[in-house]
Amino acid sequence: MIDIIYMKDCNDGKFINIKELEEIWDNSYFIKKFKNIEDFVSNEINLLDVNENWPDNFIMILDGDNIEVILGYLQSQKTLISYLQDSKCRVFVTIKEGGVNEDGYTYYEFEGMSPDHEYAQRSLDHYVQMNKIPKGNVVWMSPEYLIDNEQQKDFPFVQKFFNKWELQLDSIKQEYYHPHMLDIFKNGKNFSRPKHFYCVSSSPRGHRLDLINFLKDNDLLKFGNATFFSNAHGEIENNEFEILGDRDLKFDSEYYWEGRDKTGDWSYLPTYAINITQCFNSYFQLLTGSVYETDENCKFPFIFYNEKLWKSMITLQPFIFLGQPNTISMLKKFGFKTFHPLINEDYDKELNNEKRKVLVYDEIKRLCSMSIEEMDKWFWDMEDILIHNYNRLTEYGYEHYDEFISLLKEKG
Amino acid sequence: MNNVTFYFNNKKLENFNEIWTNRILFEKIQELKLTSPCDIFLIRPSYENDNPFEIIKSMDKTKKIILWYMDTLSEELYYLHKKEIRELEHNITIIIPDFHLNGYDLPYKVYNNYSMADCILEQQQLDRKLIKYFNKNSEKLYRQKHFLSFNGNIKPHRVDLLSFVLENNLLPKFDISFNSHFWNQAGQSLHLDLKSTSTYTSTKLNLPLYYNSYVDVVTMASSHSTEDFPRVYIDEKLYKSFACMKPFLIIGQYRTLETLKELGFKTFSEWIDESYDTEVDYEVRMSKIYNEIKRISNFSIKEMDELYFNMKTILLHNSSQLGIHIHKTDKKILGIFND
């Protein structure tokens, strides 16, 4: 058995101690529908009361969304610091959604800034170094994939890629979409599809604005089903951006921030919802990452995988990705297949932000210039790849959880 | 030996591989143990030379003969065939998919069959899990279009519909095909889902397309019918709307809705002005339908969604009535062989 103190940030800046196993299932570390992690939780985890005596060799998991809250908690726990210093426990920390909506899309923790910098004083680096905690005792679970693993040797803590959006979407797939998507896909061989592409970009970001302008300027919107800035997340006022396309999701936004909808069905929520009619009425997806701009000289280049890539795999569609470079090549590293040469994926290697955009736009233009007959043939030439990725999604989820379980079982 | 012989193109039929409708019923007939011989002539009225009468005349007059029409008969052809049938001295039964609302004026008993309803039912059963899935999914998503209309072959009432849609700038409200059976030919086409290379797909259900809109505008095979000779022919397009749980407006022969109700289906008069159905004059009938299309197209997608879900009970009824209708029809036709 592994002793775990599980602390969850309830979005009010305070952590509560989770004592019931059923309550650790959410959208962060422990996501249901994967038998390996379900069995592990049922059979090998012993949840501890934070207020009772701590044994040696336990793990504290901090499940939070705000690095300041996490650091504030860590710094306030003097006994925990001494346990960490003595290697009597390990701490796992995460920010569920990564740094996408924080600090201009990058982690200052990764930037290797001067220790005197204001941000550095409030960083995980600073906490670990100041308290002289052995490296292996603090594990940062990040939904950002650091491209250059060599760089991680400079961190005073262990950084592990935790592909939570993939796990979350595959969990949704297993619960709501499998095997129906495969059946619809196979039935679709009898028909052509009316549109070339499908594109959903609910939250306004610079590269998405550029994409709309490109589609409008080149009269390409008619080739797709597209929804931009539908304000699904309630992040912006409607009148700040032109909303393009119809709102297609029926959900009550007042419940959204509480992470549920009135039916209790997660698949209704905008981040997880998949408009299967629009997907199966179009051939490929135009995906926009949450992050686009990349600093060619960045010391810690990373990739943030949001939910969109995984959604296109669930609906068995190829995609063009307007986002960070190397996203496609890393996917291949994870065992997925991509679409070169049927889609020219040279854009993936281009570090220059403007040049990358041009390469993506050229490919969109080329695909939209194809007739529906040509597109249909092009699409079905990728059948094996699409089915591979659909299946790989679940395999990868299991592998990811195997790694997580091994990590939990390691000694500090 | 069950004593039944099927003829198709005036030749004995070895199997039903080429038969696109009523196949399941034919197989049931083949399984019957008949004491006396029966010859069934399958007739395709659209094939000019598909005329069985010369052969029948040369046959033993004591034989039971069934003339089984596989498709709709035009008024002209019906009169021609009626003349031929009247001259026969055999034990004749006629099976025809056209409902002649003033009777058939024939000296023999006439039964109605269906055109491709069985194929759609078969597909509905094959796709039942997916249909259920799309129904459930519809509760989460707004659909993109108000209307769906398939118009693969050019016919006058289909040309009229498309002209109306274009003139009134309603194209964005529609998923609509036109002339799409004919690829690579001169002239305008609107393609929705038919592949140029695929085999016949009329019996398949394109569920993503059906569930992308709220109301089907079903353009039937014919819009021609008169007060003196009122006829209704129902084909697979309407059965697909039943299978995919869609409400519909019918651009076809007058009294089609009345016939559907007699067959046990329900229509949408609570929400749609269906007075077009009683209007014999084509122009007036079309004008009433256009008014409804215009009125409904002014609804927001949210209003369309509410309208659709208000009709749910009827849609569910029609979906299950399809099987009941076929079962009842089959039972009546199989009864012929008990006589």
Which residues in chain B touch residue A275, judged by CB atoms under 8 angstroms apart? 141
Which residues in chain B touch residue A280, judged by CB atoms under 8 angstroms apart? 208
Mutate to test the interface with B, among A173, A177, A181, A192 (most CBs of B within 10 A): A192
User: What's the pLDDT at A313?
Assistant: 98
Q: What is the pLDDT of residues A384-408, one digit of tens each?
A: 999 999 999 999 999 999 999 999 9
User: What's the pLDDT at A258?
Assistant: 47
Residues A45-72 have a mean pLDDT of 90
B308 touches chain A (CB under 8 A): no
Which positions in chain A have a beta carbon within 8 angstroms of at least one beta carbon in chain B? 180, 183-184, 187-188, 190-194, 225, 246-251, 265, 267-268, 273, 275-281, 372-373, 376
Q: Which of A98-112, A304-318, B79-93, B311-325 has the lowest mean pLDDT?
A: A98-112
**Cβ count near B236 (within 10 Å):** 21
Whether A263 shows a pLDDT value over 90: the answer reads: no
Query: How many CB pairs lie under 8 A apart between chains A and B?
Result: 86
Residues A10-30 have a mean pLDDT of 88
Please give, rounded to a whole number of angstroms, the shortest distance from the CA of B142 to a CA of chain A: 5
| The residue to which tokens 């068995």 are assigned | A316
User: What's the pLDDT at A247?
Assistant: 67
Polymer length of chain B = 339
Tokens of A108: 């200052």
Three-class HEC string of B274-293: CHHHHCCCHHHHHHHHHHHH
Closest among B70, B27, B63, B25 to B45, alpha carbons compared: B70
CB A127 within 8 A of CB A71: yes
**Exposed / middle / buried, residue A305 (Cβ in 10 Å: 0-12, 13-18, 19+):** buried
Alpha helices in chain B (DSSP H): 23-31, 53-57, 75-87, 117-126, 128-138, 156-167, 207-210, 236-243, 256-262, 282-297, 301-310, 312-335
Task: Mark residue A163 as left, alpha or beta (left: phi above 0; alpha: psi -120 to 50; beta: remaining).
Answer: beta
Residues A141-155 have a mean pLDDT of 77
Quick one: closest CA in B to A245, which residue? B144
Helix, strand, coil tally for chain B in percent (to 5): 40, 15, 45
CB A184 within 8 A of CB A280: yes
Tokens of A324: 């960070």
Whether A114 shows a pLDDT value over 80: the answer reads: no
Whether A71 shows a pLDDT value over 60: the answer reads: yes
For B195, which of A192, A277, A280 is closest by C-beta distance? A192
B130 touches chain A (CB under 8 A): yes
Give backbone dihedrals phi and psi of A280, rounded to 5 degrees, phi first.
-80, 0
Closest among B217, B142, B153, B220 to B189, alpha carbons compared: B153
CB B325 within 8 A of CB B332: no
Which residues in chain A touch residue B212, judged by CB atoms under 8 angstroms apart? 277-278, 281
User: What's the pLDDT at A22?
Assistant: 92
Tokens of A253: 């936004």
Query: What one-letter code names the amino acid at B207?
Result: L
**How far is the C-alpha of B270 from the C-alpha of B60, rounded, in Å?**
55
- Greatest alpha-carbon span in chain A: 70
* Confidence band for A99, pLDDT divided at 50, 70 and 90: low
Q: Give the angle subtended at the CA of B4 by the CAs of B1 and B9, to the nearest 5°.
A: 130
A277:B141 CB<8 A: yes
CA pseudo-torsion sign A141, A147, A148, A154: negative
For B137, which of A190, A194, A276 is closest by C-beta distance? A276
Q: Higher model confidence: residue A141 or residue B170?
A: B170
What does the pLDDT profile of chain B (339 residues) look like in tens digits? 578 999 998 889 988 888 888 988 999 999 988 888 899 999 998 787 778 998 999 888 888 999 999 999 988 999 999 999 999 988 999 999 999 999 999 999 999 999 999 999 999 999 999 999 999 988 888 999 999 999 988 899 999 999 999 999 999 999 999 987 765 555 577 888 888 766 566 889 999 999 999 999 999 999 999 999 999 999 999 999 999 999 999 999 999 999 999 999 999 999 999 999 999 999 999 999 999 999 999 999 999 999 999 999 999 999 999 999 999 999 999 999 885
User: What's the pLDDT at B180?
Assistant: 78
DSSP for B242-258, written as a single string: HHTT--EEEESSTTHHH
What does pTM read for this prediction? 0.91
- Going edge to edge, which strands form the sheet with B145-149? B174-176, B145-149, B213-219, B248-251
Query: Can you give the C-alpha Rg of chain A in angstroms?
Result: 22
CB A179 within 8 A of CB A205: no
ipTM: 0.90
Whether A382 shows a pLDDT value over 90: the answer reads: yes
Residues A217-245 have a mean pLDDT of 71
Query: What one-letter code names the amino acid at A44?
Result: E
**How far is the C-alpha of A268 from the C-alpha of A286, rounded, in Å?**
22
